[in-house]
Amino acid sequence: MSENALENKPVVLRLHALFSLQKEFFDADRLFHKEVFWFFIPFGPCTTSIPKSAIMLAETHFWYTVPDEVQSASLLNQYLELLSPCEKEHVFRMRGDQLQKRALLARALVRTTVARYTNSQVSPRLLKFVKNVFGKPEVEWQHDEEWDPPSLHFNISHTSSLIACGVTVDTPVIGIDVEEKQRKIKSNVLSFARRYFSSYEVELLHAISDPEIQRQEFIKLWTLKVVISYCPSSLKPFISTTPPLSRQLTSDKEAYVKALGRGFSAAPFKTFTIRFSSTTYGGQQVYGESNSKAFEIVVEAVDEPKKCTSNWKFALFELSSSHYAAICTEKDNSIEGKDSGPMKLTAWKTLPFVEDVCVSGTDVVAAISGLS
CA dist., res. 196 & res. 269, Å (int) = 5
Please name the amino acid found at residue 97: D
CA dist., res. 281 & res. 171, Å (int) = 34
| Cβ neighbours for 202, distance < 8 A, ≥ 6 positions apart | 190, 193, 194
How many helices (H) and strands (E) the chain has is answered by 9, 15
pLDDT tens-digit map of 93-131: 999 999 999 999 999 999 999 999 988 788 999 999 988
> pTM for the full model?
0.77
CB-based contact 314:331 (threshold 8 Å):
no
pLDDT tens-digit map of 242-254: 322 333 343 434 5
Report the pLDDT averaged over residues 239-243. Answer: 36
Q: Are strands 344-351 and 59-65 parallel, antiparallel or unpaired?
A: parallel
Q: What does pLDDT average to over the chain? A: 74
- Determine the pLDDT at residue 311: 73
pLDDT at 322 over 80: yes
pLDDT tens-digit map of 7-23: 444 454 455 555 554 55
Strand boundaries in the chain, DSSP class E: 59-65, 129-131, 137-139, 152-158, 163-169, 174-180, 272-276, 280-281, 284-285, 297-301, 312-319, 323-330, 344-351, 355-358, 365-369
Domains of the chain, first to last:
3-59+71-150 (3.90.470), 174-369 (3.90.470.20)
pLDDT at 338 over 80: no
Crossing angle of helices 73-80 and 97-115, in 10° steps, is 60
Q: How far is CA 98 from CA 70, 83, 91, in A?
A: 11, 18, 11
pLDDT at 140 over 70: yes
Grade residue 132 by pLDDT with cuts at 50, 70 and 90: confident
Grade residue 47 by pLDDT with cuts at 50, 70 and 90: low
pLDDT at 240 over 50: no
- Determine the pLDDT at residue 16: 52
Query: Range with the lowest mean pLDDT among 158-162, 180-184, 304-308, 317-321?
Result: 304-308
Q: Report how far apart the first and last C-alpha atoms of the chain are (Å, whole number).
A: 52
